[in-house]
Structure 1
């Protein structure tokens, strides 16, 4: 049986022209390729990747082409760009072979740590007073970490545009707890 790792990421915005304002790519084709390569550099086919929203801005066909190039078993926490104005999942997102049906909220456990997942940052979250962790996207690395909560999106300086492990994402937060 293959060892399975879990990774967390958000805010790829594949094909979204406005992302080029804050990313070092000449065009969306270059951005998409770099994001695919970064993803596949850390994720294996058997790994689980929790994508915390805002997956793609492309057409249904182009989104599927990108999705199919990404390694791992992909799970989506819906972001504001993954739904239409009525709150329904965009057709380009809904038809993909997600490992689980896309949802707005999820929880997982890793090595005894309870992790709360959402596209949006929260000031308090389920079991926050009992030591749970909270990972989110949406803010593109502009919100500072808060307690046991942090942005895991591709625009955060410490992830190199790639999905990251829980251990990597929480290392600095754990160090801050030790100091406090």
Structure 2
């Protein structure tokens, strides 16, 4: 017996279903973050993998939700995401005399719980922090309306544990 014989309206129904699937598939309901994966040298990559193993499940009260593409060199928490990238290049502002003298309004150095950070104000209310005085550079981008100090406090212990003090290559 042919079960499709008595379904004269099946084709229009299928085309509506196909249209709904296509529209749904194109929507941006997926809110996952993306982060460029750094390409550090062998030593920094090893340290970054060690950092990934000791990162907390929560930062500033937000659950860990790693960005795409998945990598041991990147991590994320919440949405909009707090993004950590390990093994980044040294920021140009880190050697800028204006920053060292406190003359750059968009960048300043400081420390939180034994970890030195360069803070840079980005567009849209975001702030980027990059470790200083460590054998690998760790960058943390904090979205607008998040507590920068809570983020850095939560990350200080794992950074100190995994990334020794020194001058990065």
TM-score by length of 1: 0.25
TM-score by length of 2: 0.26
Structure whose alpha-carbon radius of gyration is higher: 2
User: Which one has the bigger helix percentage?
Assistant: 2
Q: Which has the higher contact order (CA 8 A, sep 6+)?
A: 1
